[in-house]
Amino acid sequence: MNKAIPKPYVIIGVALLTWALWLAYFGFADAIAHIAEYWRITLTMIFGSIIAGATSIGGGAVAFPVFTKVLQITPYDSKIFSLAIQSVGMGAAALTIYFTRTVVDWKVISLASFGGVFGIALGMGVIAPLLPPDVIKMSFSLMLASFATTLWFINKHERDCHNEMPHWHHKEKAVILFAGFLGGMMSGLVGNGIDIFVFAALVLLFRMDEKTATLTSVVLMGINAFVGFMLQLFLFQDFPPQVQAYWLAAIPVVVIGAPLGAMLCTRLPRLVIANLLIALIVIELTSSLLLIPLRPAVIYASVIMLVIFSLLNYGMYRIRHYDPNFAR
């Protein structure tokens, strides 16, 4: 294997290349004017990109309330923006992880990405037009809440973890493929999801270390976001000018923020990463409850999703086959 490149060199190199392309598109004066006009987007994505790189939930916990309440951006435009900006920010984080030889599980990334391609195409092209955005968003928030609750239970006591998949046979491959497919489908509906779905399977079922699972999910989300963005551009041919303006205002900061978040993740203890993720999910759920009107359809769909995913997460938690301390 080639020698790892020092982290600062990779982050600075990727950022300089991106900034050069960004400035070539605008010109210096217009670039500064664009940032000045959309400074709220830029500021929001400084924090959102760091969170996206450091956790498996993406930057939605920060971006959603700002986009919805302050900037009045529609859920549809928010989804397009999320895929577009993550293709840059998470892509930069993925390059940083790759060139610095940071530990991730590449076989999980490969198989989950394959499932994610089909999932995101199905979510964007078939399911999204059928479901109201408020139903999708609240259902996703309660799915996250069920996962956070299970993650808290599994970490109530000290436990040993794997740094990679403990086994890699047909059953494990099928689970990862299915998690990638479901997560990709959710990414096609709300702009992210494959990262948290695969993270849940890795941590709850396969007892993987949260740090390795997070960094694996960051690379995975970068790939899935790029696929979704390409589908949006070339298949659906829908990238509204206003969303393009937001995207261009955020590019200079996410290309630094997401890689820094990923490198921060390598320095944090496993339990700190888990508790940070739980806290962000609480914030995400709270913002959804405050901002989304709880009409009957939203309540019914959300409760159904909460029950289904609570049972699924609890089922994974109860399986001891992959627990390092389980005597077979």
DSSP β-bridge partners for residue 208: 162
> In this structure, are residues 163 and 104 in contact, taking their beta carbons and an 8 Å threshold?
no
Rounded to whole angstroms, the Cα distance separating 319 from 328 reads: 12
Q: Which of 65-69, 124-128, 300-304 has the lowest mean pLDDT?
A: 65-69
Q: What is the pLDDT of residue 327?
A: 47
Mean pLDDT of the chain: 92
Q: What is the pLDDT of residue 2?
A: 60
* SS3 category, 162: strand
* SS3 category, 208: strand
> In this structure, are residues 301 and 139 in contact, taking their beta carbons and an 8 Å threshold?
yes
Mean pLDDT, rounded, for 173-201: 95
pLDDT tens digits, 66-107: 787 778 888 889 999 999 999 999 999 999 999 999 999 999
Instruction: Look at residues 288, 285, 283 and name the one whose alpha carbon lies nearest to residue 47.
Output: 283
CA angle 322, 326, 327 (to 5 degrees): 125
